[in-house]
Amino acid sequence: MREFLVFVRKECYHIFRDRRTLLILFGMPVVLIVLFGFAITNEVRNVKIAVLDQAKDTYSRQLTDRITASGYFTVDRYLASEKDIEPVFREGEVKVVVVLPPNFGHEFYHGRKAPLQLLTDASDPNTGTTLVNYANAIILQYQQEMTGKVTLPLTIQTASRMIYNPSLKSVFLFVPGVMTLILMLVSAMMTSITITREKELGTMEILLVSPLKPLTIIAGKVIPYIALSFIIALTILAMGFWIFGMPVKGSLLLLLLECLLFCLAALSLGILISSLTNSQQTAMMISMMGLLLPTILLSGFVFPLESMPKPLQVFANIVPAKWFIIILKDIMLKGAGLRQVWQPTLILGGMTLFFLVLSVRKFKTRLS
């Protein structure tokens, strides 16, 4: 036990003396959360549009006001003719052009059918689609208001409500995502790097010649990083809570235990990587390509899994991050307890056990 404590202390010296890495480890989650929370957002707000109003009547003006009043769009300029449309898009500021034909009001009121054109900059297809949907919704609403007095023979009234995230805040998705990413990064990458560093420096040989048991070496290496991961996880949760109002509806204890489970999975992956290679550089590359990319791309963090091709969806099942994000979201947003998340927890636990056994065995065989 004393040997173990001595080892942990040494490991802490390594961590705290390497100021740059420490800064990155603590700086990155903060930067990522702030970036994802404020800057990178799927929400539409104050998008600049241009209006080509050829009708200039009451209805066309009303509609334009409606569009701007929503808060999603602001009118950047009014266009004089169709020739202006192309240059406006070229400039890139304006994302949507609304074209109201002459006689818009007349046709709307008397012809009962008014054409209207929405031109959208679709060089970013996701944004393009979102903008069209938003604009359509506003126009539809306006139309309903105008025709509201007339009762249609049959109507379906949709009353939609966004539960768990009523205001559609994208930060609710990013907090669990960033947490997953950072825990994976700290636990897996840092562990694999710190073990391979000992190999590169030749100190691992000395440790293996010493009476230290391989398990003591592994535990001594890993436990300081578990502590570090925990502090970082708490930081992210605190930021999510106080800055973005991200709730933790479920039990905080359960949440932290799940974090521990995920950390263990990531750490054992880190140990596994370090047993594959002797160089820090390779270890870093493998962690990046083999762990971080799937964590970002195949966990449902950035891209929804449901819209992926079947093979990728199947593959995503072996990415521990996928299950962890499900658990996090369920606990934080839906207030789920163990009874609701036992399934992903079991899967994650199984994976952890598998990796842990595999990595400890691998590590031992390096000794002989």
Residue 20 in contact with other proteins, rule: CB under 8 A: no
**Distance of closest approach, residue 90 Cβ to other proteins, in angstroms:** 55
Q: Using the rule CB under 8 A, which residue among 30, 132, 146, 212 binds other proteins?
A: 212
Residue 361 in contact with other proteins, rule: CB under 8 A: no
Stretch that binds other proteins, among 10-18, 21-29, 79-87, 177-185 (CB under 8 A): 10-18
135 within 8 A of 67, measured Cβ to Cβ: yes
Phi, psi of 76 (to 5 degrees): -80, -40
**Distance of closest approach, residue 285 Cβ to other proteins, in angstroms:** 23
Residue 209 in contact with other proteins, rule: CB under 8 A: yes
Residue with tokens 């009451």: 58
Q: Using the rule CB under 8 A, which residue among 23, 31, 40, 201 binds other proteins?
A: 201
114-133 footprint of other proteins as x/- string (CB under 8 A): --------------------
Phi, psi of 327 (to 5 degrees): -60, -50
Residue 205 in contact with other proteins, rule: CB under 8 A: yes
Burial of 188 (0-12, 13-18, 19+ CB in 10 A): buried
Phi, psi of 71 (to 5 degrees): 90, -15
**Distance of closest approach, residue 355 Cβ to other proteins, in angstroms:** 26
Size of the site for other proteins (CB under 8 A): 24
**Distance of closest approach, residue 192 Cβ to other proteins, in angstroms:** 18
Instruction: Kindly state the DSSP code that residue 49 receives in the 8-state scheme.
Output: E
Q: Using the rule CB under 8 A, which residue among 58, 74, 123, 203 binds other proteins?
A: 203
Phi, psi of 96 (to 5 degrees): -135, 140
CA distance 230 to 228: 5
CA distance 199 to 51: 65
Consecutive H or E run containing 98: strand 96-100
**Distance of closest approach, residue 9 Cβ to other proteins, in angstroms:** 8
- Closest to other proteins by CB, 68 vs 277, is 277
Determine the 3-state secondary structure of 7 from DSSP: helix
Residue 279 in contact with other proteins, rule: CB under 8 A: no
Q: Residue type for 91, please?
A: E
**Distance of closest approach, residue 281 Cβ to other proteins, in angstroms:** 17
Name beta bridge partners: 97.
50, 119
Strands 73-78 and 117-120, bridge-based pairing: unpaired
- Closest to other proteins by CB, 207 vs 302, is 207
Q: Which residues bind other proteins (CB under 8 A)?
A: 2-3, 5-7, 9-10, 13-14, 17-18, 201-203, 205-212, 367-368
